[in-house]
A and B are shown apart, each in its own frame.
Chain A
Amino acid sequence: METITHAAIRQSGRYSRLKIEGLSMELLRGLYRGMVRLRRCEEALMVQYRVADEIRCPVHFTIGQEAVPAALGLLLRKDDFLYSHHRCHGYFLAKDAPMGALFAELFGRTTGANGGLAGSQEISMPSHNFFSGAILSGALSLAAGSAFAFQYKGDDRVALAGFGEAATEEGIFWEALSYASVRKLPLVYICENNLYSMYSAQVNRQPADDLSKRVQAFGVRTFTLFGNDPVAAYEALREAIEYARKGGGPCFLEFYTYRINAHVGPESDDYINYRPADEIEFWKSNDPIALFEERLDHAGLLGRSERELIVAEIDEEIDEAFQFARNSPMPADVDLEALSRSCESPFAERHLPLSSVGDFDETQPVAVLAPY
């Protein structure tokens, strides 16, 4: 596969380049655990979504796209900033934010990451430097601002943003890319190209499946990869994050992947017939967890019983997260108007005296504007 595109990936058949030789057990375990944790978490939420009608917000599940968040989770520092979009559970967990706070947020409880005020698609966790929002591309431009702040302060922190290929159809993406390149900002953009924006294929929306090439024209370093290979994702992300952290400038990574579940909600949306059945089958046969397990089996590493132990541990965490959410109170008597605006100015109060009204002379002339 010379040039990576969705067509080239289909043409070259089932992926066979996943290499785990020479990697530490800790890394293999971490990647496996990260992917399975996200998968089990999403599957459990899908099952519970309708049961008692406890999750009453749009949820964009991410089955099939586990490799990138799992790899990212092993590379981020706590003080790095990570921005995400509506399909954000993988990124939330990658930032080491607690699963209980995620579930409670979906359940609209006070113990949710945002007290139940944001829901799945807009969840944030400022204590973990994790932020997301549902308006496409908005968050990636915030990341540029945080990267600006890190550079200004001389920190070696990195700002990252995850998004889909459709986010690049907004003008702000290119504004941010241009600015990040001019200023050499410590910024890492992670584009998960999953071929569809809701029900519209990339080919209907973009002139060609060559996003990385277009990004290169801005002088930004790019990485283009098959996105269901967690090892390749890990290595590319590591290189990009280090490059940005050391002052090399922004990086753009494009991971070719596929969303197996519906755009939104737990039920399938394939009744709309927006994607061919053989395409779905192709990507199911390239499931990142299955590909990885195959390689592990082949190499005789992380055997079945060890994997079962990991899964059991994860399932216990999921059970606890559900219990935590269900046992937490619903918000009540929240003063929404007070919460919308901070009326406190502690810094200003400390440093500045109050002044009331000046002595304005109303008889003076208003400006007569010169040409300008």
Chain B
Amino acid sequence: MRTLTYAQAVNEALAQALELSEDVVVLGQLVDTSGVFGTTKGLVEKFGKKRVQDFPVSENLMTSAGMGAALAGMRPVLVHHRLDFMVYAMDPIVNWLSLWRLKSNGQSRLPVTIRTVVGKGWGQGPQHSKSLHGWFAHLPGVNVAVPATAHDAKGLLLESIFGETPTIILENRSLFSMEEVVPENPYRIPFGQAAIRRRGQHVTVAALGIMVPIALRVAKQLAEESIEVEVLDLRTVSPLDRDTVLKSVAKTKRLVVADPAWRSVSVAAEVIAFVSEKLGRDLASNPTRVCFPDSHTPMSAPLEASFYPDDAAMLSAIRSVL
């Protein structure tokens, strides 16, 4: 049983994708030299500068160019060290990639994968830490994944590269060193399938990204009090696995959504909305959200630490619905 870190799993997925098809290229600033926190390390040595190309500081162009290359039959992977810089690319994402399949009446396929790292900790501050998965999920026509573990990071990345839909994958920097058993062969995880990480009958916690390890730790702690928490890892927010959430809440009748993003108009809000639409009358208590405050991230260490919900915040949220 071989374990890899999250960063190594992403790296392995990229290497295997480059091996599987000549149509795959990895583009991004310094993908050939910096290693992007280990995720592109060694790729240029193995596949050369043609397949793993540095790109100018032109996020907007890189994204449109990725789409233009996909229209010409390629499967580009675009890499951003920080999501915040990728906001330069909102035009190609919003005005072109997301609507192209509809506008072409289903004739065009756009296998463009956008990998973007979200910073957390060590004073990343408001311009290095935004997690805009809720924004992107609001757009029809784009797949959005927030993998929490090494196994999922590899499988979702491969599925995206060899799928047919433009995809944005948000990887939180703080997860990069976490390990998991990862199969050596290439494999895929379909979008729109949540993972049931822990079974329980008293309360459902639907978690995403960095909130998943927190939810699991707290669930283990509560099990000692005979409170059984069902922990769902949503994994992809577009498409969203509504069925798995509904099935779980139908059983537990209690819901906590843990979404690593601002609270308002968020994926967390969407989850509570669709659960309320289907099961509102059956709920035993008001659902609640564990999210970031509706504020940008402060730099100073104590403020930063209090900005991100911790185990105690999760514990109190779960207790509030019991």
Contacts and interface: CB of A to CB of B under 8 A. Distances in A.
A120 to B, nearest CB: 13
Interface in A223-270: none
A369 B162 contact: no
B69 A172 contact: no
Given A142-B65, A355-B151, 5 more contacts: A81-B68, A124-B103, A176-B65, A178-B58, A361-B180
Contact of B96 (A115, A133, A342, A364): A133
Interface stretch (B213-221, B245-253, B282-290, B291-299): B213-221
A81 B102 contact: no
Given A145-B71, A354-B189, A360-B180, A340 B56 contact: no
Contacts of A366: 174-175, 178, 210, 213
Contacts of B181: 358-359
A309 interface: no
Given A141-B68, A341-B239, A179 B56 contact: yes
A7 interface: no
25 contacts: A114-B105, A124-B107, A141-B65, A141-B68, A142-B67, A142-B71, A146-B69, A148-B68, A149-B73, A150-B72, A152-B25, A172-B60, A175-B58, A339-B105, A341-B239, A342-B101, A342-B106, A351-B186, A354-B189, A357-B196, A358-B150, A359-B151, A359-B180, A360-B180, A367-B173
B56 A178 contact: yes
A268 to B, nearest CB: 30
Contacts of B71: 81, 126, 131, 142, 145-146
Interface in B57-94: 58, 60-61, 64-74, 91-92
Interface stretch (B39-47, B152-160, B255-263, B268-276): B152-160
A27 interface: no
Given A143-B68, A351-B162, A358-B149, A118 B104 contact: yes
Given A179-B65, A337-B140, A361-B179, A118 B217 contact: no
B155 A360 contact: no
Interface of B: 20-21, 25, 37, 50, 56, 58, 60-61, 64-74, 91-92, 95-96, 99, 101-109, 120-122, 140-143, 148-152, 155, 158-159, 162-165, 173-183, 185-190, 192-193, 195-197, 210, 212-213, 216-217, 220, 239
A340 B102 contact: yes
Contacts, number: 228
A41 B130 CA distance: 50
Contact of A179 (B58, B74, B176): B58
B59 to A, nearest CB: 9
A153 B210 CA distance: 39
Shortest 3 CB-CB contacts between residues of A and residues of B: A145-B68, A358-B151, A362-B216
Contact of B175 (A146, A346, A361, A367): A367
A149 B72 contact: yes
Interface centre among A133, A149, A371 (most CB of B within 10 A): A149
A182 interface: yes
A345 B193 CA distance: 15
Contacts of B210: 366
B143 to A, nearest CB: 7
Contacts of B142: 341
A118 B99 CA distance: 10
Interface of A: 81, 114-115, 117-118, 122, 124, 126-127, 131, 133, 135, 138, 141-150, 152-153, 159, 171-172, 175-176, 178-179, 182, 336-337, 339-348, 351-364, 366-372
B15 to A, nearest CB: 14
B240 to A, nearest CB: 12
Given A138-B91, A358-B180, A367 B165 contact: no
Given A135-B95, A142-B96, A361-B179, A126 B65 contact: no
Contacts of B120: 369
A367 B56 contact: no
Nearest to B55: A179
Interface centre among A142, A143, A146, A336 (most CB of B within 10 A): A142
Contacts of A358: 149-152, 180-182
Contacts of B109: 342
B142 to A, nearest CB: 8
A126 B213 CA distance: 45
Contacts of A141: 60-61, 64-65, 68, 92
Contact of B122 (A143, A360, A372): A372
A355 B103 contact: no
B190 A371 contact: no
A352 B158 contact: yes
A328 to B, nearest CB: 13
B248 to A, nearest CB: 14
Given A361-B179, A364-B179, A135 B91 contact: yes
B110 to A, nearest CB: 9
A354 to B, nearest CB: 6
A340 B166 CA distance: 11
A207 B115 CA distance: 38
Contacts of B60: 141, 171-172, 175
B202 to A, nearest CB: 18
Contacts of B140: 337, 340-341
B180 A138 contact: no
A360 B197 contact: yes
Interface centre among A117, A337, A342, A361 (most CB of B within 10 A): A342
Given A81-B71, A145-B64, A352-B162, A124 B108 contact: yes
B159 A146 contact: no
A362 to B, nearest CB: 3
A179 B164 contact: no
A363 B68 contact: no
A148 B50 CA distance: 11
B28 to A, nearest CB: 14
B174 A367 contact: yes
